[in-house]
Amino acid sequence: MRRCCIIYNEPGEGALPDELDVLDQVAHIEQYLKMLGIDVYRKGITNHFMDEIALLAGEKPDFVYNLVESINNKGELIYFVPAMLNMYAIPYAGNSLEAIFLTSNKTLASKAMKEAGISNPSAYVPSQLNLLKPGRKYIVKPIWEDGSLGITGDSVFECKPGFEEKLRGLDDAHWFIEDYIDGREFNMSVLAGKNGPEVLPPAEIVFMNYGDTKPRIVDFKAKWEMDSFEYVNTVREFPGKNLNPELTKNLTEAARACWNLFGLKGYARVDARTDYNDNVYVIEINANPCISPDGGFVAATREAGYPFIEVLKRIIDDLNM
């Protein structure tokens, strides 16, 4: 019988819902790995990750399922875990060290996409405010964090006199500024397969009752605060055949291009926005998307008609060795 250890970021005391969500993912993966006849155990990863991975290497699991999204809730440490798994030559499901590092650092990902000809918003760091164009709208985001951490309704701003106050104290190592694409937002989930990556049906994030002045973005409230206006009025839909076929094609091609550019494995999600002319701009590549039952990736697999046990088998057939 094959033996798998699921590793995950151990939530700290007083953890918020975005950090606790990983426990739902662990339970979901554990259930289906057991259905595949695999012996499963868990290991939470903390600040002592070097010792914890060393002990894991001594346990000699056949493979690891990597669900570590951060260390001590710091996204910039996410790539340390696959680096340690590589060092000990432990096979693991999920994305590689290189893919996680490049996609988690959103400014590096932006540069790589620009060089590869993948359309994405122009990006700047706080020391480049002189490059911003008066009258244009921008959005400020954390470089390393996922799950909308650090993003609020005030993250979108217009370049006009006094705008610098909004960005005071932000450093180039942790924050960046991006052209705000006013329009629609889509998520494309991608799953490994024998014939290469399969882009699943695109999901649209629909912003209901937002009016003309409220920015249509998935901020922290929209993603995690269930009693907020943003959460209640931000809805995932699968437009299917109602979506313009040319737009579907362009979204799918962008997702596949990102998979190939960053050497993604197993599963991933590509987020994009479109302007009012249906031009596609990739805004994020998530190399370790949420895989809980109510998450966007699993919803896309259901929309595609795949039982989750088949999805999981395809993921663990694409291990990093």
In this predicted structure, what is the pLDDT of residue 213? 86
pLDDT band for 19, please (50, 70, 90 cuts): confident
Contacts of residues 293-300 at CB distance under 8 Å and 24 or more positions apart, as own/partner, are 293/24, 293/28, 295/25, 296/187, 296/189, 296/203, 296/236, 296/269, 297/189, 297/267, 297/269, 298/28, 299/203, 299/236, 299/238, 300/187, 300/189, 300/200, 300/201, 300/203, 300/238
**What number of residues does the chain have?**
321
Q: What pLDDT does residue 191 have? A: 98
Higher-confidence residue of 147 and 248: namely 248
pLDDT at 145: 85
Using pLDDT thresholds of 50, 70 and 90, give the confidence band for residue 154.
Answer: confident
Taking 90 as the threshold, does the pLDDT of residue 16 lie above it?
no
Single pTM value for the model: 0.94
Q: What are phi and psi of 118, to 5 degrees?
A: -90, 120
Mean per-residue pLDDT of the chain: 94
**In the structure, what pLDDT confidence band is assigned to residue 107 with cuts at 50, 70 and 90?**
very high
What pLDDT, on a 0 to 100 scale, did the predictor assign at position 153?
84
**For a pLDDT cut of 70, what percent of the chain falls above it?**
100
pLDDT in tens, 266-307: 999 999 999 999 999 999 999 999 999 999 999 999 999 999
Which pLDDT value is given to residue 146? 81
At residue 147, does pLDDT exceed 80?
A: no
Domains of the chain: 3-93 (3.40.50.20), 102-119+182-202+238-316 (3.30.470.20), 123-179 (no CATH)
Q: What pLDDT does residue 112 have? A: 97
pLDDT (average), residues 186-207 = 96
- As a whole number, mean pLDDT of residues 159-170 equals 88
